[in-house]
Amino acid sequence: MRSDSGNRDFPRIRRSPSGSRWRSRSATVMGIALVVGLYFTPALFERFVLPAAMPHLPGAKVPPPGFEAASGPLGLPPATSGSTAYVLQKSPDPGQPFVAYDPCRPLHYVVRPDHAPPGTDVLIQEAVSAVSTASGLQFVYDGTTSEAPSEARESYQPARYGKQWAPILIAWSSPAEAPKLAGKVAGTGGSAYAHIPGEPYVYVAGQMTLDAPGLAETLAWPEGPAHIRAIIMHELGHVLGLDHVDDPTQLMYAENSGQFDFGDGDRAGLALLGTGECVPRL
Ligand SMILES: [Zn+2]
């Protein structure tokens, strides 16, 4: 059995000369801060190469295959405008156009609520609902967790989450805990994939960090909640497999200038990412 795992920053981040920043019109008008709240995304990748027999061995690093796998997709994405204003994260396999979550099973998620700005639970719910609608992927909230975010996060944590892939972790955090949140970065997001030779690569576990101290300030802005919801939607876009796109009218643009909802390109990309292959052997 061979298992490779490792994390790396996603190397194709587009950064403006001033960095990758979420600019707020509201903040400018208010004269608070010219640039606040922001993010760029080091998508977190982790790779496992799995022999099929391995999940049954003691101490397995992957769950038994097919947990909650249905015979067909649980939902379908809506028709889109056909926009091409999106960029997919790079597939590790040149023969596979993109990596996606398995649409035949629900995507579980948990929230690490420490230091969450008040009233933001509903913003997470609304952001998850928005990406679910756009992708057709079905999400299940499994409650809160004490798990801290980590770039070396294990995709299978049976002691904490049972014999299934670890849920998507949405962690309110801080630059002290998650150094990539330093400066003007408001959040990061990405997913780990798993792969059995002969099968498609599939995302199995995702992670998002949100800068709680920074976003607590954002919350006080006019339209602060909408800013935060948009940041969470952007990071969920990364979790599902979108990269930054060089189009400022899209939410997946690296610098936001007041975009609060998905654009046509974001929606087209998310719809595509809702049509990944079902891989019950994982
Ligand atoms: Zn981003």
Q: How confident is the model at residue 52 (pLDDT cuts 50, 70, 90)?
A: very low
For the ranges 2-11, 111-120, 151-160, the lowest mean pLDDT is seen at: 2-11
Q: What is the pLDDT of residue 23?
A: 34
Q: What is the pLDDT of residue 42?
A: 36
Q: How far is the CA of 211 from the centre of ligand 1 (A)?
A: 14
Distance between CA 237 and CA 239 in Å, rounded? 5
Taking the centre of ligand 1 as the mean of its atom positions, its distance from the CA of residue 56, in whole angstroms, is 37
Q: Which amino acid is at 85?
A: A
- Separation of 281 CA from ligand 1 center, angstroms? 31
Per-residue pLDDT band at 96 (split at 50, 70, 90) = very high
The Å distance, Cα 146 to ligand 1 centre, comes to: 25
Q: Are strands 38-39 and 185-195 parallel, antiparallel or unpaired?
A: parallel
Domain ranges of the chain: 25-273
pLDDT value at 4 more than 50 = no
Q: Determine what percent of the chain is predicted with pLDDT higher than 70.
A: 78
Q: What is the mean pLDDT of residues 52-78?
A: 79
CA of 131 to the centre of ligand 1 (A): 15
Mean of pLDDT values over 153-170:
94
Nearest to 249 by CA among 237, 232, 236, 266: 266
Q: Above 60 in pLDDT, residue 5?
A: no
> How far apart are the CA of 270 and the centre of ligand 1, in A?
14
Q: How sure is the predictor about 21, in pLDDT bands with cuts at 50, 70 and 90?
A: very low
Distance 72 CA to ligand 1 centre (A): 31
Full-prediction pTM beyond 0.85?
no
Residues in the chain: 282
User: Per CATH, which fold does 25-273 belong to?
Assistant: Collagenase (Catalytic Domain) (3.40.390)
Rounded average pLDDT over 105-120: 97
Q: What is the pLDDT of residue 60?
A: 66
pLDDT at 18: 32
Tell me, in angstroms, the distance from the centre of ligand 1 to residue 186's CA. 9
pLDDT, tens only, 193-234? 888 888 899 999 999 999 999 999 999 988 999 999 999 999
Distance 234 CA to ligand 1 centre (A): 6
Burial of residue 164 (CB within 10 Å: 0-12, 13-18, 19+) is: middle
The 10s digit of each residue's pLDDT in 242-258 is 999 999 999 999 877 68
Collect residues with CB below 5 Å from ion ligand 1. Answer: 41
CA–centroid distance, 254 to ligand 1, in Å, is: 5
Mean pLDDT over residues 257-281, rounded? 94
- Find the 163 Cα to ligand 1 centroid distance in Å: 31
CA distance 211 to 217: 10
Quick one: pLDDT at residue 115?
92
Give the Cα separation of 250 and 235 in Å (integer).
13
Distance CA 282, CA 274 (A): 18
Give the list of residues 6+ apart from residue 211 with CB closer than 8 angstroms, or none: 37, 173, 174, 175, 181, 185, 186, 187
